[in-house]
Amino acid sequence: MRILGIDPGLATLGYGVIEAQSGRMKLVTAGAIITKPDQKTPDRLVSIRRDMRDLLLAYKPDEIVFEELFFAKNITTGMNVSAARGVALCTCAEYTDQLFEYTPMQIKQAVVGYGKADKHQVQQMVKMILGLEKVISPDDAADAVAAAITHANTGYSKEQFRMK
């Protein structure tokens, strides 16, 4: 099974694709869709949609996993990230109905074993789980891969994480 993980963002949208079969996982690709702060927000959203379509066509995931959004402080930033998530979600929904989501705490718990793990711990565990030589960069890409790993390990209980 090929799983695309997505860590939504307007400036940096992390993505990671893994192959999961019989309890084994292999990294296919990881990276980020980056938009420029000097662009107008609508142009940034169009860029995200175009790049998401390209990812879907290139890697043909069977299932797609989003990290849920969490905002503690800045509502303006939250609105823009929500718009980027919406564009990515809409693009993915046009591609498949196999859409799932996990909270940041669920992903950290699944990958690190501690729901309040920091970014460095997540990166190191993703590196170990996939047998990589170096950590995935940027952080957003590592988070997206961690979401994909979480989904791969969820097994039969994945239906409870299906987007409604």
98-136: pLDDT as tens digits: 999 999 999 999 999 999 999 999 999 999 999 999 999
pLDDT of residue 72 exceeding 60: no
pLDDT band at 73, cuts 50/70/90? low
Task: Provide, rounded to the nearest whole percent, the portion of the chain with pLDDT above 90.
Answer: 90
Q: Which residues are catalytic?
A: 7, 67, 140
The edge-to-edge listing of strands for the beta sheet with 99-102 is 24-34, 12-21, 2-7, 63-67, 99-102
pLDDT of residue 142 exceeding 70: yes
Kindly report, residue by residue over 39-69, the tens digit of the pLDDT. 999 999 999 999 999 999 999 999 999 999 8
pLDDT of amino acid 78: 79
Task: Provide, rounded to the nearest whole percent, the portion of the chain with pLDDT above 70.
Answer: 95
Structural domains of the chain ordered from first start: 2-161 (3.30.420.10)
pLDDT of residue 28 exceeding 70: yes
Q: Torsion over CA of 69, 153, 95 and 29, rounded to 10 degrees? A: 90
pLDDT of amino acid 23: 86
**CA-based end-to-end distance of the chain:** 22
